[in-house]
Structure 1
Amino acid sequence: MSALLTIRSRRDQMSAIERRIADFVLDNANLLRDYSSQQLANALGVSQSSVVKFCQKLGFKGYPDLKYSVGEDIARADNGDEPPATSAPEHPADAMAAELWRRKSAAEEETRSINPPGTIAAVAAAITLAGEGGKVFLIGLGDDDIRARALALRLSLLGILTVHNFDPAHMAASVSAACTGDVLMVFSEHGKPPPLCYIARCFRERGGTVVSVTRHTSNPLRAYADIALLVSAHDEEVHIQPLLYQAAAQHLMDRVFVRLCEGGRDQQLRENLERLQPMLEP
Structure 2
Amino acid sequence: MPYKVLELLQTREIREKLTKAEEEILDFLEKNFSRIPDITVLEICKEAYTSQGSINRLCKKLGFAGFSDLKFSIKEDILEREKYKKESITNTLFFIENINMKEGKKLSQVLKDTPRILLYGLGASKITATYLQRQLLYLGFQVIFISEEKMLENFNDFTLLVISSSGETLRIKHVAKSFKERGNTLLSITKRGSYLDKLSDCSFTHNISIDKLNVITREQQLHMIIMVNELVNLLHFG
Structure 2 length normalisation: TM-score?
0.60
* 1:168 matches 2:145: no
Identity of aligned residues (%): 19
Name the structure 2 match of 1:224.
199
Provide Cα deviations, 1:34-75, integer angstroms capped at 9, x if missing partner.
xxxxxxxxxxxxxxxxxxxxxxxxx79xxxxxxxxxxxxxxx
Of 164, 167, 173, the match for 1:191: 167
> Letter of the aligned partner of 1:110 in structure 2?
E
Q: CA deviation at 1:101?
A: 0.8
* Residue 246 (1) aligns with residue 221 (2): yes
Deviation at 1:198, TM superposition (A): 2.7
Q: 1:173 to 1:96 in 2, by over 3 A?
A: farther
Q: Which has the larger radius of gyration?
A: 2
Whether contact under 8 Å (1:186, 1:211) holds in the other structure is: yes
Evaluate the alpha carbon distance shift between residue 84 and residue 197 of structure 1 in structure 2; reply closer, same or farther with a 3 A threshold. same
> Given residue 152 of structure 1, which amino acid in structure 2 is its aligned partner?
Q
Query: Are 2:103 and 2:205, in contact at CA under 8 Å, matched by a contact in 1?
Result: no
- Off by >6 Å, runs of 4+ in structure 1: none
Give 1:190 shift: 1.8
* CA distance 1:209–1:237, shift in 2 (3 Å): closer
Q: Is the 8 A contact 1:203 1:210 kept in 2?
A: yes
The one-letter code matched in structure 2 to 1:89 is K
Provide the aligned length of Structure 1 versus Structure 2. Answer: 174
2:31 equivalent in structure 1: none
Helix, strand or coil at the partner of 2:190: strand
Matched ranges for 1:39-54 at <5 A:
none
Given that residues 104 and 247 in structure 1 are in contact (C-alpha distance below 8 angstroms), is that contact kept between their aligned partners in structure 2? no
Write the distance in 2 (CA, Å) between the matches of 1:165 and 1:96. Answer: 41
Give the drift of 1:84.
6.7
> CA distance change for structure 1 residues 145 and 93 in 2, over 3 Å: closer, same or farther?
farther
Q: Taking structure 1 as reference, are residues 90 and 237 closer, same or farther at Cα in structure 2, changes over 3 Å only?
A: farther
RCO greater where, 1 or 2, for CA within 8 Å and sep 6 or more?
A: 2
Question: 1:119 aligned to 2:97?
Answer: no
Q: What corresponds to 2:235 in structure 1?
A: 260
**Partner Cα distance (1:205, 1:234) in 2:** 29
CA distance in structure 2 between the aligned counterparts of 1:253 and 1:94, rounded to whole angstroms: 28
Distance of aligned partners of 1:183 and 1:162 in 2 relative to their CA distance in 1, 3 Å threshold:
same
Unpaired runs of 5+ residues, structure 1, are 1-58, 61-82, 264-282
How far apart are 1:85 and its partner, in Å?
8.8
Separation in 2 of the partners of 1:237 and 1:197? Answer: 21
Deviations 1:55-110 (A, max 9, x none): xxxx79xxxxxxxxxxxxxxxxxxxxxx8794743338626632541343233222
**Contiguous gaps of at least 5 residues in structure 2:** 1-26, 29-33, 38-70
- Matching residue's letter, 1:94: R
Asked if 1:138 corresponds to 2:119, the answer is yes
Q: Give CA-to-partner distance per residue, 1:189-226, whole Å, 9 cap, x none.
A: 2222333223223333444332222234x432222111
1:153 aligned residue (134, 137, 141):
134
Contact 2:173 2:196 in 1 (8 A): yes
Contact 1:197 1:224 in 2 (8 A): no
Query: Alignment partner of 1:89: what SS?
Result: helix
Q: Quick one: which of 81, 94, 97 aligns to 1:107?
A: 94
